[in-house]
Amino acid sequence: MFQPSPWRADFPAIAALQRQHQTYLDSAATTQKPQHLLDALSHYYTQGAANVHRAQHLPGALATQAFEASREKVAAWLNAADAQQIVFTHGATSALNLLAYGLEWRLEAGDEIAVSALEHHANLLPWQQLAQRRGLRLVILPLDANGHIDLEAALQLIGPRTRVLAVSQLSNVLGTWQPLQPLLDHARAQGALSVVDGAQGVVHGRHDVQQLGCDFYVFSSHKLYGPDGLGVLYGRREALGLLRHWQFGGEMVQLAGYQQSSFRPAPLGFEAGTPPIASVIGLGASLDYLASLDATSVVEHEAALHRHLLRGLNDREGVRILGAPQLALASFVVEGVHNADLAHLLTEQGIAVRAGHHCAMPLVNSLGLDGAIRVSLALYNDSHDLERFFSALDQALELLR
Ligand X SMILES: Cc1ncc(COP(=O)(O)O)c(C=O)c1O
- The footprint of ligand X (CB under 6 A) covers 91-93, 120, 122-123, 168, 172, 197, 199-200, 220, 231, 359
**C-alpha R_g of the chain:** 22
Smallest separation, CB 223 to ligand X (Å): 6
Three-state DSSP at 326 gives coil
Is the Cβ–Cβ distance between 95 and 267 less than 8 Å? no
DSSP assignment of 23-66, as one string?
Answer: EE-BTTT-----HHHHHHHHHHHHH----SSS--SHHHHHHHHH
Nearer to ligand X, 164 or 392 (CB): 164
Nearer to ligand X, 98 or 393 (CB): 98
Between strands 86-89 and 231-235, the pairing is antiparallel
Between CA 7 and CA 203 the distance in angstroms is 15
What DSSP designation does 216 have? E
Nearer to ligand X, 120 or 163 (CB): 120
DSSP assignment of 117-155, as one string?
Answer: TT--GGGTHHHHHHHHHHT-EEEEEPB-TTSSB-HHHHH
Smallest separation, CB 199 to ligand X (Å): 3
List active site positions. 359
Between CA 145 and CA 150 the distance in angstroms is 9
Smallest separation, CB 147 to ligand X (Å): 13
Q: At what angle do helices 58-78 and 277-292 cross, to 10 degrees?
A: 50
Those residues whose C-beta lies under 8 Å from the C-beta of residue 140, and which sit 6 or more positions away, are 114, 115, 116, 117
Percentages of the chain per state (helix, strand, coil), in multiples of 5: 45, 15, 35
What DSSP designation does 337 have? B
Smallest separation, CB 168 to ligand X (Å): 5
